[in-house]
Amino acid sequence: MNETTPPDQSMTRAEARTAASMAGIYALRMLGLFMILPVFALYSEHLEGATPALAGLAIGIYGMTQAFLQIPFGLLSDRIGRKPVIVFGLLVFALGSVMAASADTIWGVIAGRAMQGAGAIAAAVMALTADLVREEHRVKAMAIIGMSIGASFAVAMVLGPLLNSWIGVPGIFWLTAVLALGGIAVILLIVPNPVVSRVRRDAEAVPEQFTSVLRNPQLLRLDAGIFSLHLILTASFVVLPLALRDLAGLDASRHWEVYLPVLLLSLPMAVPFIIQAEKHQRMKQVFVVSVIVVALAELVLFRFHNQVLAIGIGLFIFYSAFNLLEALLPSLIAKMAPPDSKGTAMGFYSSAQFFGAFVGGTVGGWLHGRFGLSSVFLFCAVVALAWLVLALGMEAPGYLNTRLLRIGALDPDAARQLARRITAVPGVAEVVVIAEDEVAYLKVDPRLLDEDVLDAVVENRG
């Protein structure tokens, strides 16, 4: 029989608790990383051996270790279990926070930040969520985690300057270590143990798919997009605190007065454009315009970074596009990736995001030291324009939904026959049946899909 759950069935209380707990763990970790962005450039001036280039490296170095280790940690969690990998990653992250808090040289902070990134739990968190949440609610759970990351960024931009005036950057690092230990308590005491842990292709990277995903030009364009977006974000914050203090004359303890209204005003700006992109099927047009807006924001900051109001306007323009792109890019990955390769595509997408933060911090710091503060904003604008060229060449996505069906045990011949029958169902665009996983991955046009025919095909799958 068809084991899919009716679309209107809600998540169970256990699933909702799992999604909330995993979102909390992920968000607290990212909060600790993000809180440093608006304050570290000012703090680094007091560290022994600090230069603008090394300050930028300290800001971005976590992205390098995170980018290289998150997929291996996810694969390791398939072998030894999700929770041990997550606990280990949080301990490593806490150790890095303590190292950075205790350091009085720039190289000590760089080592601590690299260690923070080495606690790369992103893939393992997604895998554990997939183990504990049924397929039909997995997208919802991942969306909750995604929203928590966005919220942590917004909170960090305001909380970082406030905490800096109370406890300083070392205090922020110590607080980050405490938050990581709190995450361990949540994972051990609140999150249930999965009955079965296995590879979920819609949520995890699969090594056999690496080559095909890395050869997909549309997915590579999107990876380049998230790389560029986080490069621009991180590079900008290498110099923004300095511009606000030294050129615009705003004391560091008051920087939150710029970030808070900018974030509050920019968050709702994404909503009507998301509706245009998804509901009215204008995804590529909205995406391209958003990249243009990012370039415009950096040009505003390049030209007017000596005035508080102008910086606020530039940041408002940037965050309006940033929030929209953070929502559009994962949606585009899901639409562009083959139905059974979504997890692998998202794994490389996340690695590109973190690697962008590393390059942004490193190059931004070097440019600041060599050519001055304004060169960083100009560099970011050039990166955005290069990204625009890639975005213009992107194929318009198909407006399809991903569907996962549990099909039970089938031999390979029966699986191939079932795939052919499902392909013939009106509204089904793609189907991949994985016999060993007992699931079928579909991409469907919800306007054309004949649910009754699909149910009948799966009912008689043998």
How many C-beta atoms lie closer than 10 Å to residue 236's C-beta? 24
| Confidence label for 270 from pLDDT (cuts 50, 70 and 90) | confident
Which residue has better confidence, 131 or 234?
A: 234
Evaluate whether 287 touches 394 at the Cβ level (below 8 Å): yes
- pLDDT above 50 for 4: no
Q: Are residues 271 and 313 in the same domain?
A: yes
What is the phi-psi region of residue 5: left when phi exceeds 0, alpha when psi lies from -120 to 50, beta otherwise?
beta
Span 151-190, pLDDT tens digits: 888 889 999 999 999 999 999 999 999 999 999 999 999 8
In a domain, 1, yes or no: no
What is the CATH number for 299?
A: 1.20.1250.20
Q: What pLDDT, on a 0 to 100 scale, did the predictor assign at position 447?
A: 82
3 pLDDT higher than 70: no
For residue 128, being part of any structural domain is answered with yes
Query: What's the length of the chain?
Result: 462
Strand (E) or helix (H) holding 458: helix 451-459
What pLDDT is recorded for position 197? 66
Q: Is the pLDDT of residue 75 over 50?
A: yes
For residues 172 and 160, the answer to whether their CB atoms sit within 8 Å is yes
Sorting pLDDT into bands at 50, 70 and 90, what band is 7?
very low
The answer to whether residues 380 and 424 belong to one domain is: no
Q: What is the CATH number of the domain that holds 416?
A: 3.30.70.100
Tell me what pLDDT residue 400 has: 79
* Greatest extent of the chain over all pairs of C-alpha atoms, in Å: 73
Average pLDDT, rounded, for the chain = 89
Q: Hey, is 24 helix, strand or coil?
A: helix
30 located within any domain: yes
Residues 393 and 409 in one domain: no
pLDDT in tens, 350-370: 999 999 999 999 999 999 999
Report the C-alpha gap between 312 and 233 in whole angstroms: 15
More confident residue, 142 or 328: 328
Asked if 126 and 242 sit in the same domain, the reply is no
| Residue 187 sits in the same domain as residue 110 | yes
Q: 264 or 197: whose pLDDT is higher?
A: 264
Same domain assignment for residues 183 and 230? no
Strands 439-444 and 428-434: antiparallel
Domain stop point among 184, 202, 220:
202
Inside any domain, residue 24: yes
pTM of the model: 0.91
Q: Match 């949606």 to its residue by tokens.
A: 331
* Residue 196 resides in a domain: yes
**7 is a domain residue:** no
* Least confident segment among 129-143, 219-233, 337-351: 129-143
How large is the average pLDDT for residues 108-123? 94
Boundaries of domain holding 120: 12-202
Whether residues 190 and 219 fall in one domain: no
- Is 6 domain-assigned? no
Report, as an integer, the average pLDDT of 309-318: 96
**Nearest CA among 237, 233, 397, 235 for reference residue 328:** 397
231 and 302, same domain (yes or no)? yes
Please compute Rg for the chain using Cα positions.
23
Q: Tens digit of pLDDT for each residue in 398-423?
A: 777 777 787 777 788 888 888 888 88
Last residue of a domain, one of 176, 202, 228: 202
pLDDT of 119 reads 92
Residues 430 and 345 in one domain: no
On whether both 86 and 137 belong to a single domain, the answer is: yes
Asked if the structure places residue 3 within a domain, the reply is no
Q: Is the model's pLDDT at 396 over the cut of 90?
A: no
Q: Which of these three, 361, 380, 398, is where a domain ends?
A: 398
Question: Is the model's pLDDT at 5 over the cut of 80?
Answer: no
For residue 103, which phi and psi values (nearest 5 degrees)? -75, 140
* H helices present in 372-432, as ranges: 373-392, 412-423
Tell me the average pLDDT across 430-434.
82
pLDDT at residue 461, rounded to an integer: 62
Max mean pLDDT range (134-143, 381-390, 428-437): 381-390
Q: Do residues 158 and 255 both lie within one domain?
A: no
User: Could you tell me which residues are beta bridge partners of residue 401?
Assistant: 444
- Provide the domain count of the chain: 3
Contact 349, 342 (CB under 8 A): no
Q: Are residues 330 and 266 in the same domain?
A: yes
What CA–CA distance (Å, rounded) separates 305 from 460?
66
